[in-house]
């Protein structure tokens, strides 16, 4: 062993606590991801499909090079009501052009629950929670299944 290599023994009990904490968070985010996935599937199964038209693109946050744009879409419900939907997310580049038609989904009797019928819009929370599942479970398995010795 050279004079520049030093072995540090990590207290295995504390090491396991960190691993178990990451494992718990990974399982928690897994439950959130599954809940998000199944509630989205239920929404799609029970939703009414309609077509809306983009009537306005407004700037959410102004940046000289890349302004973030949010679309405002108008559609008619199955009862003939005219509903105006403001997209939840701001995007660059803008996804929809003025006058473009957009497929929408909404629950019967709740046209205000309308969402754009695209997978990246519908499953965004499932994707985010899934990334956290991957991160936390990877760290927990790394911590739990490595030895309690590190060389510095």
CA distance 60 to 39: 28
Instruction: Name residue 150's beta-bridge partners.
Output: 8
pLDDT at 68: 83
Indicate the pLDDT class of residue 113, thresholds 50, 70 and 90. confident
Whether residue 65 contacts residue 76, with contact meaning beta carbons closer than 8 Å, is answered with no
Among residues 53, 37, 13, which one has the least CA distance to residue 126? 37
Whether residue 145 contacts residue 18, with contact meaning beta carbons closer than 8 Å, is answered with no
User: Which secondary structure element, helix H or strand E, spans residue 69, and what is its range?
Assistant: strand 68-76
DSSP secondary structure of 86-113 = E-SS-BSS-SS-TT-EEEEEEETTEEEE
**Mean pLDDT, rounded, for 14-36:** 91
Phi, psi dihedrals of residue 133, rounded to the nearest 5°:
-60, -50
CA distance 44 to 108: 12
For residue 151, pLDDT over 50 is answered with: no
Whether residue 8 contacts residue 149, with contact meaning beta carbons closer than 8 Å, is answered with yes
Q: Which pLDDT tens digit goes with each residue over 51-72?
A: 999 998 888 876 677 788 888 8
| Torsional sign, CA 103, 36, 33, 89 | positive
């Amino acid at each position: 062993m050279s004079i520049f290599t030093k072995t540090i023994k990590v207290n295995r009990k504390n090491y396991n606590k960190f691993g178990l904490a990451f494992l718990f968070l990974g399982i928690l985010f897994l439950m959130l991801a599954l809940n998000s996935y199944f509630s989205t599937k239920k929404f799609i199964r029970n939703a009414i499909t309609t077509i809306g038209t983009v009537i306005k693109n407004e700037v959410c946050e102004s940046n000289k090079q890349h302004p973030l744009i949010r679309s405002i879409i108008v559609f008619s419900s199955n009862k003939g009501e005219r509903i105006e939907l403001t997209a939840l997310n701001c995007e660059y580049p803008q996804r929809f052009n003025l006058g473009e038609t957009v497929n929408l989904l909404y629950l019967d009797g709740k046209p205000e629950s309308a969402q754009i019928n695209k997978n990246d819009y519908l499953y965004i929370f499932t994707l985010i929670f899934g990334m956290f599942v991957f991160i936390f479970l990877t760290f927990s398995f790394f911590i739990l299944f490595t030895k309690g010795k590190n060389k510095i």
